[in-house]
Chains A and B, each alone.
Chain A
């Protein structure tokens, strides 16, 4: 039985411990940089008997998620991790997981896309699959990786959610960054998670025979209507998730003493004139830059997005209502709008909140590039200026001249 203790580990090991403490029945693995050590930790944990789970060491990410589909339909709690090309290869079962309402938890150790060939960090992989119905939560620290992973099962298996959850941690920075971490005890985690509740709604079980995924559709009649009920149910589940994510984070804070902003974190925002918007591990350097700017007398704050899907629109509207300009830093590119995906979400929130303030798109940290305090100093300066000049048409590429 694992007892609470302090350990030193990196983000991949933290995710593996989070999975161990969540007691999945089945873990499927296929290696890909920078996720590989996570798969190795899990395999070793199972080999050593620390985790009692089926280990599916299969022949590719497509099968990784597919075996977990089968297992979840038979009632198993499941876990895996992937990123980059692995996620791309996994996409066919990936985008079927939410409408099947399977509460599978998967870590995305985010990585930039090819081409050119790149195995370093970046959020292009996760951002590319943001709109198929998985819950996406981005972590800032190693400790948050472990805590969020355990919370993810509570969220995924909530009866009003029943959706797969991605717990995302930045490749390289969080995957390999080593620091102190508080490991909770198994008994406390068991009490927090409660009994498994996986396939009460959809099952492949001879004791409860049903057809899973009958053909549905057509030009009219019951088919399209049934299909709409599936789609609406999925949208409802996503909206319920916003509330459940908050509730679960509250309970985690009560039980374990660590409080993480569940949807959107506001940092030094209440008296800010303008703010920068961040996501993931870059937030640490960004907060340092904000502190330094504050010391210089700049009234700057920070908004960090943890939950990106479902997008916490109300929380974001509340946050942006406090400032006059925004600098949004993305670690990925949207090729539709010539800016970053987070930037577009913020623009949507500004329209939703009837608040047409300047919002600049910054793109940085691609392909593993450092996002330093220096980079965020530029973000702060240019955002401050945008209050008077308005935003430019093109994004600002932070590492272009590094």
Chain B
């Protein structure tokens, strides 16, 4: 499989034109005092564009160069300029339509971005979040060749990110695995197959909706007793986790069973026709929290399952969203390792196009919005380090921008929206309390005790 590359991305909606990116770039040794990227500001400051090298897949600059002074790196995809070969013809600048390569006469060099060799300073300095470093390319290089252990043709709804999630997860966890998919969307899309066929290339089974953690416990313990390290993986919907499956999961967490338990939270019983679960968010229309004269969607807030798992002091707990795949993979790595010592729990927020009423093309965008509004927060927890935000959003966009994406919130009254806005703020505040406590504990531990 060919190489894929990381990219610097620009969200002009977030840019405030502060110019810090250019300042920091200009100070880099290779910049010779001139920034290698430019934020171009409209006269009324209403619009921004970024001029920067895109590290094109088939770079025109490289093709135009008659001297072989430009070349695209095979491993990292970065287009590099070699001064010793350059004849100064500027044909490269003619080829580039992004303003990505420009002459710097005083320094007698062509100026272009090299992504700071994997850690771009402009991204680090950008406070507004307009610049980000997309590492999906590195991810692809890492996992692209791994075998997809689900069969082709699972019958998930169009736009379902559960299928994306389980395919990524299983190929990463690998074949020495037994997979439990309790009744729900993942089993319903054919993971356990129909009429004797299977949708999975590793051992897979339907536990009961209620006993996923217990059945996996029996499997993991039996193999461990025989000296075999078999991963016990749950791919469970929220109903089988926060509602009727809660007891067995809580028991397994208390006993420290070595499970890799992934909850795919689409906020309800979507496979059976979109009924509410304990994980359904406040105000949501579902088929059992309908909207009518007397009812206006769900009247209670959702259970905060990942926090409850944190209170069990599991070996590892994390939240995730598929809008941030690199974040998910980093957590999956830790969870796989933790599941050899105890319970590893990942709670994946999974927007459901069918049940939440949004276009199937918008799934990833809704994932991103959920995090950018703080409706969903991405964090991780270990007993030693406590809770840590992995993608803190200090200046969230208004939660209304998230709510308006979905038909299930269409009926919300201003009072209901106010409630959601407030609980979103409260939830983050509560998490920050935990994060702060963890941070303080870390700092306290750094202070040597008297007599040491």
B16 contacts chain A at the CB level, 8 A cutoff: no
B198 contacts chain A at the CB level, 8 A cutoff: yes
Q: Which of B205, B219, B223, B247 contacts A59 (CB 8 A)?
A: B247
A73 contacts chain B at the CB level, 8 A cutoff: yes
Write out the residue numbers on chain B whose beta carbons fall within 8 Å of the beta carbon of A211.
Answer: 192-193, 197-200, 203-205
Q: Which of B196, B230, B247 contacts A60 (CB 8 A)?
A: B247
**Which residue of chain A has the shortest Cβ distance to B217 in the bound complex?**
A67
A204 contacts chain B at the CB level, 8 A cutoff: yes
Instruction: Tell me the bound Cα distance from A93 to B176 in angstroms.
Output: 26
B175 contacts chain A at the CB level, 8 A cutoff: yes
Stretch of A212-220, A242-250, A287-295 with 4 or more beta carbons under 8 angstroms from chain B: A212-220
Q: Which of B178, B203, B221 contacts A54 (CB 8 A)?
A: B221
A111 contacts chain B at the CB level, 8 A cutoff: no
B222 contacts chain A at the CB level, 8 A cutoff: yes
Instruction: Tell me the bound Cα distance from A71 to B225 in angstroms.
Output: 11
A263 contacts chain B at the CB level, 8 A cutoff: no
B442 contacts chain A at the CB level, 8 A cutoff: no
**Which residue of chain B has the shortest Cβ distance to A222 in the bound complex?**
B195
B427 contacts chain A at the CB level, 8 A cutoff: no
**Which residue of chain A has the shortest Cβ distance to B202 in the bound complex?**
A209
A240 contacts chain B at the CB level, 8 A cutoff: no
B297 contacts chain A at the CB level, 8 A cutoff: no
Stretch of B130-138, B160-168, B207-215, B412-420 with 4 or more beta carbons under 8 angstroms from chain A: B207-215
**Which residue of chain B has the shortest Cβ distance to A210 in the bound complex?**
B203
By the criterion CB–CB under 8 Å, are B215 and A70 in contact?
yes
Write out the residue numbers on chain A whose beta carbons fall within 8 Å of the beta carbon of B254.
Answer: 59
By the criterion CB–CB under 8 Å, are B203 and A212 in contact?
yes
What 0/1 pattern do residues 31 to 69 of A give for CB contact below 8 A with B?
A: 000000000000000000000001011111011001111
By the criterion CB–CB under 8 Å, are B176 and A213 in contact?
no
Knowing A67-B214, A211-B192, say if A73 contacts B219 (CB, 8 Å): yes
The count of chain A contact residues (Cβ–Cβ below 8 Å) is 41
Q: Which of A56, A96, A206, A210 contacts B217 (CB 8 A)?
A: A56
Write out the residue numbers on chain A whose beta carbons fall within 8 Å of the beta carbon of B210.
Answer: 62, 66, 92
Q: Which of A70, A203, A213, A214 contacts B218 (CB 8 A)?
A: A70
Among A315-353, those with CB < 8 Å from B are none
Give 30 CB contacts A-B under 8 Å. A26-B222, A54-B222, A58-B217, A59-B247, A59-B251, A60-B247, A62-B210, A63-B247, A66-B207, A69-B215, A70-B215, A70-B217, A73-B205, A92-B211, A93-B208, A204-B203, A205-B178, A205-B203, A206-B202, A208-B203, A211-B197, A211-B203, A214-B193, A214-B206, A215-B187, A215-B192, A215-B193, A216-B196, A223-B194, A226-B196
Write out the residue numbers on chain B whose beta carbons fall within 8 Å of the beta carbon of A209.
Answer: 198, 200-204
By the criterion CB–CB under 8 Å, are B219 and A74 in contact?
yes
By the criterion CB–CB under 8 Å, are B222 and A214 in contact?
no
**Interface SS of chain B: helix, strand, loop or mixed?**
mixed
Write out the residue numbers on chain A whose beta carbons fall within 8 Å of the beta carbon of B192.
Answer: 211-215
Inter-chain CB contacts under 8 Å: number: 151
CB distance from B198 to the nearest CB of A (A): 3
Instruction: Tell me the bound Cα distance from A56 to B192 in angstroms.
Output: 27
By the criterion CB–CB under 8 Å, are A93 and B175 in contact?
no
Among A68-96, those with CB < 8 Å from B are 68-76, 92-93, 96
Write out the residue numbers on chain B whose beta carbons fall within 8 Å of the beta carbon of A26.
Answer: 218, 221-222
Write out the residue numbers on chain A whose beta carbons fall within 8 Å of the beta carbon of B14.
Answer: none
A182 contacts chain B at the CB level, 8 A cutoff: no
Instruction: Tell me the bound Cα distance from A203 to B219 in angstroms.
Output: 10
B255 contacts chain A at the CB level, 8 A cutoff: yes
B248 contacts chain A at the CB level, 8 A cutoff: yes
B216 contacts chain A at the CB level, 8 A cutoff: yes
Write out the residue numbers on chain A whose beta carbons fall within 8 Å of the beta carbon of B199.
Answer: 211
A25 contacts chain B at the CB level, 8 A cutoff: yes
By the criterion CB–CB under 8 Å, are B203 and A214 in contact?
no
CB distance from B154 to the nearest CB of A (A): 13
Instruction: Tell me the bound Cα distance from A7 to B377 in angstroms.
Output: 63
Instruction: Tell me the bound Cα distance from A214 to B250 in angstroms.
Output: 27
